[in-house]
Amino acid sequence: MTTTQYLARQLLAHKVLHVFGVPGDYSLKILDTFIKEGLQIINTCDEQGAGFAADAYARLNGLSAVCITYCVGGLKVTNPIAEAYAEKSPVLVISGAPGISERKKDPLLHHKVKDFNTQLKVFEALTVYAAILENPRDIGEQILKAIWLALQYKRPAYLEIPRDMATAEIAMPDEVSISGDFHSDPKALEEALTEAKQMIEAATQPLILADVEIQRFGLQKELEQLTEATGIPVSATLLGKSVIAETHPHYIGVYEGATGSEEVCAFFEKSDCLILLGVFMTDITLGSTRSVLDMGKCIYATSEKLMIRHHTFEDVRFEDFVRGLLSLNIRKTLPQNLPHPSIPSIDRIDENQSVSVNSFFTIVNTFLSSQTVVIADVGESLFGSIDLVIHESTEFISPAYYASVGFSIPAAIGAALAKPHLIPFVICGDGAFQMTGIELSTTCRYKLHPIILLLNNSGYSTERIFLDGPFNDLMNWNYSKITELLGCGKSCVVKTNRELKKAIERAIETRDSFWLIEVVIDAADRSKALRRMAQRIMP
């Protein structure tokens, strides 16, 4: 079996059916073999789009792959791959490259930067595993290791395939030996769980804060069982939004120190036992001006660290700890006086009025169901989404921590391919659309039908609250005319609440291409979350 055949079969074995990318001469043989092995190649307009699409696909599918050419392709996916690293998304980067035999004497082959290790060095800074496949004896093991580490850490890995290695016959690796021994130390686990149980039972108001690792490690069911068995209420971070159905009676809403609701913040601060599950301790989550978290009341478990109060436990796996909590038979206390995310009332919306940020999210909320996946871009698209109530089984994805603008439209490509039964609802701003909106072309090419809600508020509105200047302005496009340029898709512009409602209804009814709904918003309008952030961060 050759390198590329083996790699293709490993991808298929992990349910990766699509590979995103843009071709280049160093990667042609890889793409050709992938097709022959039954993978579908998804060509985006630009490699950046392939990177974001692969990130979204990995979040929903558990693993993904992006295949690009050397440097001119690879260096265009550094930002999406950094995002996948930062927010834990297992993307396999497969880069074509000059052949090993061509590299002798260090010639200037096209696309080379400093030396033949430049791209490797860059990806070493952005992945959990990076290797050049140079020896047919080792290649099989390198492929298995890359995939295993990506799955273990939920983070990207990098494989560089010199073109003369793409078709090389390789030695078959021992699949069992690679995956290695990665179990919890039973004594450490037991000690940690015992201490956790004591803390929780001694507390009068424990609270679980759940973040994205719950989703990445597939522990949503366990989380639900845990809150139901113990009565401990649950809050979610913005990045982790939708790890539990937001309609669940024990769910109190999104906790975001900088932007979240006062009610949830107050409940969080009053809690005397915080169970932080898979939480990224980010500046956005913890808030820029809130008091420092008292670790003395925290049980802090992630895939990288288990810390109870001020001490850490080594060799305890995140999954084992979460499942362990469930098996502890913690005394059940019925939660009382819980805040609940208030479902914004559609009845208060005047249909004849212009759309505001608030009415926009209220209206969108009425269309969400277990058949939708919401993909929010950065800025108001994300802040406003705090108030969406995500139903059971509904998915919500966003780059809420890494915050790379332009993620959402290419991400919709990945989401639509990973979960073809869901309707992608993309919420993005004009700034994001100008970066990557052109990838709607790719949705036409592969017959995907996302619904794009473009919040046009005339510029980078989130930045305006920090420091405004002409650099926060944007050219105002006739966004809906993108259908003319691409020769496909459907679009409209809406200004009133009634028009917005009708447009979404029509888009859901006639899903045979992408639908772009441009929603014109007053440039001075702000979401509640953004107003809270402005108040809390500003002096």
Closer Cβ to a copy of itself, 213 or 246, answer by number: 213
Q: Which stretch binds a copy of itself (CB under 8 A): 3-11, 117-125, 182-190, 316-324?
A: 117-125
Least separation, in Å, of the C-beta of 470 and a copy of itself? 7
Instruction: State yes or no: residue 438 binds a copy of itself (CB under 8 A).
Output: yes
- Please state, in angstroms and rounded to a whole number, the distance separating the CA atoms of residues 446 and 381: 26
Which residue from 56, 60, 65, 75 is in contact with a copy of itself, where contact means CB under 8 A? 75
Q: Which stretch binds a copy of itself (CB under 8 A): 123-131, 185-193, 307-315, 419-427?
A: 123-131
Least separation, in Å, of the C-beta of 108 and a copy of itself? 4
Least separation, in Å, of the C-beta of 442 and a copy of itself? 8
Q: Which stretch binds a copy of itself (CB under 8 A): 67-75, 216-224, 363-371, 499-507?
A: 67-75
Task: Tell how strand 311-313 and strand 306-308 pair up.
Answer: antiparallel
Which residue from 61, 230, 302, 404 is in contact with a copy of itself, where contact means CB under 8 A? 404
Does the annotation list 430 as a binding residue? yes
Tokens encoding 12: 């298929």
179: number of Cβ within 10 Å: 14
Tokens encoding 448: 């995907």
Instruction: State yes or no: residue 129 binds a copy of itself (CB under 8 A).
Output: no
Least separation, in Å, of the C-beta of 180 and a copy of itself? 22
Least separation, in Å, of the C-beta of 344 and a copy of itself? 26
- Please state, in angstroms and rounded to a whole number, the distance separating the CA atoms of residues 135 and 132: 9
Does the annotation list 429 as a binding residue? no
In the window 7-36, what residues touch a copy of itself (CB under 8 A)? 21, 23-25, 28-29, 31-32, 35
Q: How many residues bind a copy of itself (CB under 8 A)?
A: 80
Closer Cβ to a copy of itself, 37 or 124, answer by number: 124
- Please state, in angstroms and rounded to a whole number, the distance separating the CA atoms of residues 140 and 344: 54
- Please state, in angstroms and rounded to a whole number, the distance separating the CA atoms of residues 387 and 341: 8
Least separation, in Å, of the C-beta of 172 and a copy of itself? 27
Q: Dihedral of the CA atoms 280, 284, 286, 291 (nearest 10)?
A: 150
Instruction: State yes or no: residue 239 binds a copy of itself (CB under 8 A).
Output: no
Order the strands of the 91-97 sheet from edge to edge. Answer: 40-43, 18-21, 64-68, 91-97, 157-162, 129-132
In the window 281-340, what residues touch a copy of itself (CB under 8 A)? 281-284
Using DSSP's 3-state secondary structure scheme, residue 2 falls into strand
Instruction: State yes or no: residue 476 binds a copy of itself (CB under 8 A).
Output: yes
- Please state, in angstroms and rounded to a whole number, the distance separating the CA atoms of residues 515 and 31: 30
Does the annotation list 457 as a binding residue? yes
Using an 8 Å Cβ cutoff, are 169 and 1 in contact? yes
Which residue from 361, 460, 514, 515 is in contact with a copy of itself, where contact means CB under 8 A? 460
Which residue from 58, 238, 316, 482 is in contact with a copy of itself, where contact means CB under 8 A? 482
Tokens encoding 363: 């209206």
Closer Cβ to a copy of itself, 114 or 348, answer by number: 114
Task: Tell how strand 306-308 and strand 298-301 pair up.
Answer: antiparallel
Least separation, in Å, of the C-beta of 263 and a copy of itself? 24
- Please state, in angstroms and rounded to a whole number, the distance separating the CA atoms of residues 326 and 152: 22
Q: Which residues pair with 317 in a beta bridge?
A: none
Closer Cβ to a copy of itself, 59 or 103, answer by number: 103
- Please state, in angstroms and rounded to a whole number, the distance separating the CA atoms of residues 172 and 170: 6
Using DSSP's 3-state secondary structure scheme, residue 124 falls into helix
Tokens encoding 93: 């980067």
Q: Dihedral of the CA atoms 9, 13, 14, 15 (nearest 10)?
A: 100
Which residue from 1, 125, 523, 538 is in contact with a copy of itself, where contact means CB under 8 A? 125
In the window 484-513, what residues touch a copy of itself (CB under 8 A)? 484-488
Least separation, in Å, of the C-beta of 472 and a copy of itself? 6
217: number of Cβ within 10 Å: 18
Annotated binding site for Mg(2+): which residue ranges?
430, 457, 459
